[in-house]
Amino acid sequence: MTGNGVLPSPSPPETPISSPVDPPSPSAGEPTDDVFVPEDFDWGEFPPKSFENLKDLADPVFPETVLTYTLESSSPSSSLSIGSYVDPAAVATMQASVYSSPFIYKTIVEGLVGPEYHGRPVCGRPESSPEQVTCVMIGQLGVLSVVTPAPLPIEDVATFTEAIYDLL
């Protein structure tokens, strides 16, 4: 305190402090904090097979046919889009869901009993519904999950999952 009762002003810091409103710009080629880097995420015991050539699942348009399945209905949404497929000859259905967050991948896989890689997808039986099969694949900022309510071979669901992923 000085003799007049006023505190001396602090000297300015040597380096300027960035405010939250005005973050420093990254250097060219340097990733920004708001960019999702799949290789840096903890995917658990079954990380996606490849981060190369990820499909952009931000605004999925479900194809009319996938293998022998025909699109019966779809409901697009900003956070979850669903396409229901039916194969009348095989009396089988598949439900394809595209979640807008890649972080749901780990949650889905951790909810499977006996998850295994089947080609590119990870497939298993949901703990809550062991008669079903679920397969999951990662995309750019999204996740494709395919579930069948009927007991079908896991290989069939994995094949459908890869086929619809490639068509999205």
**Per-residue pLDDT at 134 exceeds 80:** yes
Region of 53 please: left (phi>0), alpha (psi -120 to 50) or beta: left
* pLDDT for the residue numbered 31: 40
* pLDDT for the residue numbered 83: 97
Q: Using alpha carbons, select from 138, 136, 132, 104 the residue that is nearest to residue 123.
A: 136
pTM as predicted: 0.74
For 96, other C-beta atoms within 10 Å of its C-beta total 26
Per-residue pLDDT tens over the stretch 87-132: 988 889 999 999 998 889 999 999 999 999 999 999 999 999 989 9
Q: Using alpha carbons, select from 167, 71, 156 the residue that is nearest to residue 135.
A: 156
Per-residue pLDDT tens over the stretch 6-58: 444 444 344 333 333 333 333 333 344 455 566 666 677 777 777 677 888 98
DSSP 61-87: ---SEETTEEEEEEE--SSEEEEEEEE
